[in-house]
Structure 1
Amino acid sequence: VPPGHPVDTFRREIWALRSVLLQMRQLYQRFDHLDDGEDASALVLEWRGLLNQLMDIEKHFQRKEHLFFSRLEQHGITGPSKVMWGKDDEIRALLRDLAQALQQPGLTAGEWKALVHTVGETVVKAVEEMMYKEEQILLPLCMSTLTEEDWAEIWQSSPLYGWCLVEPQEGYRPPEAVLREGLQLAGPDAIRLSTGVLTLEQLAAIFSTLPFDLTFVDADDRVVFFSEGRQRIFARSRAVLGRKVQHCHPPKSVEVVDRILQDFRSGRHDVAEFWINFRGRFVHIRYFAVHDRDGRYLGTLEVTQDVTQIRQLEGERRLLQYDDAPTEVQ
């Protein structure tokens, strides 16, 4: 595998994560050498730093779940996504628990040691087991199954999710012939709608300018379109296109996804709404059933919007006032 190939980068991330885990184990041994009444603050600070590095595993998981799993599913292989994604979520929960525990004030060295031998060791073991499964099972499976086109798609989409602890090396680049094209719609002519006419260029620009993210799932539950705004809330890559929407969510969410789709398809409901706190932002997520003029179900539209600033609005603004800085006109 050449340097910079997705497998090479993924493998180097595994090695980097193992190095962090080794440092954690060594730190745990130093905790054991403390008397229960000693000051453990310096070791706790070091532990927080190592955990911060380990939390970078989220980027590693995101690429695996949305790129590697997606391409395997195109070849009819769904086992890894069903099993590993659930385990990834368990690790995420453990990391959150440890991060919360490390913020506790006033603990004695004895109490910190107890934390080491419970949550601390559980986290290290869970991540070690996942790294083993990725290296011994997932990567060999991908290498024996995926095509050059699949690797080109993974390579091209990977920067959307970022890198874990290490950067890709220089070397691999897919042949230009297999790099996929961007958004393509049939025909160069203008698109005529009941309320007007748009060129393809205009339509694409409108989708990119909308202050919310769109994703459309067709009547067969496959993702067939998503908008590419300037600041998407949840990352999307072209690898998701054609993928069953159930496979784009963690296993614990699939039941809810299926219920929404069944209710929309049957006509029982037309709208489902959620709102969550996400990375300091208040995000409104809405799902709409899409039907043709005869009432036939065509699919489901997801609309995701950051409404943090909208929730803070008060009173009225009736006079023109720009909130963004002016752009210099040449």
Structure 2
Amino acid sequence: MSEIINNSEKRKELLKHLILQLHNGEAPEQVKNRLIHLLQSVPYNEVVEVEQQLIAEGLPEEEILRLCDIHSAVLEGSIDTSTARVIPPGHPVDTFKQENKELGKRISQVKNLFTKFEELNENDLDSYLLQLKTLFNELSDVDKHYLRKEYLLFPFLEKAGITGPPKVMWGKHDETRDFLKVAHEALRNKGGLTKDELESIIPLVLKPVIDAIEGMIMKEEEILLPMAMDTLVDEEWLQITEETSIYGFCLYDPQTEWKPESLITKEPTFLQGSAIKLSSGSFDIKELESLFITLPVDITFVDKNDKVKFFSHSPNRVFERNRSIIGRDVRMCHPPQSVHIVEQIISDFKNGKENKAAFWISNFKGRFVYIEYTALRSGNDEYLGIIEITQDITALRELEGDQRLLSYSSK
């Protein structure tokens, strides 16, 4: 047994064998009993390597996503994080961990309410429901935690060649969001809930939320965050720190500001040089920057290699963007369930089948939003990429009649 415990390749073979057995329909408990005593200590990087290998060997990401909770449960408590780097106070990883602690407190409170359900008196039902609603509202703050992972942390891991865990985790994030949505709808029942109705909702609707958030905390603490500490350098962590405010914090307000001693934060500088000359005129850099900030639409440019190359950063953007997406494959900028739409647009634009795709959302945070993707082509019809234009047209849809006189109203 010692040669297995002390041999990295043997451990990884066993771990791969475990996941493939689950894939082939083996009962989780049987797999666990057969292998866990051999995997007494699994370094977190080996878990990542095995997931990457399985994806490279053709196991669908969707299948790894399906098995994620099972094989994580089998490994829980056996993943070795003792070699992980020390985390300074205020560091983005410290913030993630502090947020996990706060989420854990709410989970404990919800579980405590679950245990008290049997002895619940009908007269106390309203108070009980109010406590559940309050706690689930607080747990919904986890979305900010997940967004920072998806749009700030994952791009740097992908640049380092670590693509498997981000894809799997993003899928689990979306599952949790769906669970939360269903839970809120159930708890918002306008007619009120009886004890019998609540008795069925707890295991079928509420408990899956708790299990999903709790499972993700384990995956972060034992795999993702130690791996990220080993992978990213201070310059990258500093960029994450500076852009965190775009998404906010989850149930936790950091009291310590982290800045690496070896780095000095510099204000972004414009490229030097002469004016940018176009066929119908020219701009200097300052004018061009101001133009994109001031335009009443949001612009994102994806180049011919499907990499995000530019976005306008007006103060009133409809969809938030940050500089961590520059150079990122556009497929990685969308949740897994919508990637097939992105793929279809890219394919149709590249082969010349289509040139434009439009979408609209009738109620996005109270606004009517119009989104248009247009193929960018040169004069000789060479494909150069895709321009995404997003516009809040709420006020435009309300216009009636004519306005022929000068007016400085907001509309």
Q: Which residue of 2 aligns with 1:154?
A: 240
RMSD of the TM alignment (CA)? Answer: 1.7
Q: Distance in 2 between matches of 1:191 and 1:63?
A: 35
Q: Which residue of 2 aligns with 1:328?
A: none
Q: Distance in 2 between matches of 1:267 and 1:178?
A: 47
Residue correspondence of structure 1 range 28-107 to structure 2 within 5 A:
28-35=114-121, 37-104=122-189, 105-107=191-193
What's the TM-score, normalizing by structure 1? Answer: 0.94
Task: State the Cα distance separating 1:323 from its structure 2 match.
Answer: 2.3
> One-letter code of the match for 1:67?
L
| Match of residue 113, structure 2, among 27, 35, 38 | 27
Task: State the Cα distance separating 1:184 from its structure 2 match.
Answer: 3.9
Residue correspondence of structure 1 range 215-294 to structure 2 within 5 A:
215-276=300-361, 277-294=363-380
Q: Distance in 2 between matches of 1:212 and 1:80?
A: 34
Contact 1:91 1:127 in 2 (8 A): yes
Q: Distance in 2 between matches of 1:53 and 1:93?
A: 16
**Which of the pair has the greater relative contact order for Cα pairs under 8 Å at 6+ separation?**
1
Contact 2:235 2:263 in 1 (8 A): no
- CA offsets 1:162-208 (integer angstroms, 9 cap, x no match): 111111231411458464753644x3311111111211101000100
Q: Which residue of 1 aligns with 2:278?
A: 193
- CA offsets 1:124-158 (integer angstroms, 9 cap, x no match): 11110011101111101101111111111111111
Count of residues in Structure 1 that have an aligned counterpart in Structure 2: 323
Task: State the Cα distance separating 1:239 from its structure 2 match.
Answer: 0.7
Q: Which residue of 2 aligns with 1:322?
A: 408
Q: Which 5+ residue runs of structure 1 have no aligned equivalent?
A: 326-330
* Same amino acid, percent of matched pairs: 45
What's the TM-score, normalizing by structure 2? Answer: 0.76
Contact 1:89 1:250 in 2 (8 A): yes
Q: Which residue of 2 aligns with 1:18?
A: 104
> One-letter code of the match for 1:30?
K
2:301 counterpart SS class: strand
1:228 counterpart SS class: coil
| Match of residue 127, structure 1, among 185, 191, 213 | 213
Q: Which residue of 2 aligns with 1:111?
A: 197
| Match of residue 383, structure 2, among 278, 281, 297 | 297
Task: State the Cα distance separating 1:257 from its structure 2 match.
Answer: 0.5
Contact 2:300 2:310 in 1 (8 A): yes
Q: Distance in 2 between matches of 1:56 and 1:242?
A: 29
Task: State the Cα distance separating 1:29 from its structure 2 match.
Answer: 2.2
> One-letter code of the match for 1:143?
M
> One-letter code of the match for 2:221?
E
Q: Which 5+ residue runs of structure 2 have no aligned equivalent?
A: 1-86
> One-letter code of the match for 2:330?
V
Q: Which residue of 2 aligns with 1:212?
A: 297
Q: Distance in 2 between matches of 1:297 and 1:152?
A: 36
Q: Distance in 1 between matches of 2:264 and 2:347?
A: 37
Q: Distance in 1 between matches of 2:90 and 2:98?
A: 10
Q: Distance in 2 between matches of 1:32 and 1:280?
A: 41
Structure of greater Rg: 2
Q: Distance in 1 between matches of 2:269 and 2:403?
A: 38
Q: Which residue of 2 aligns with 1:138?
A: 224
Q: Which residue of 1 aligns with 2:256?
A: 170
Q: Distance in 2 between matches of 1:44 and 1:101?
A: 11
> One-letter code of the match for 1:157?
E
Mark the CA change 1:253 to 1:175 in structure 2 (over 3 Å): closer, same or farther.
farther
> One-letter code of the match for 1:56?
D
Mark the CA change 1:283 to 1:83 in structure 2 (over 3 Å): closer, same or farther.
same
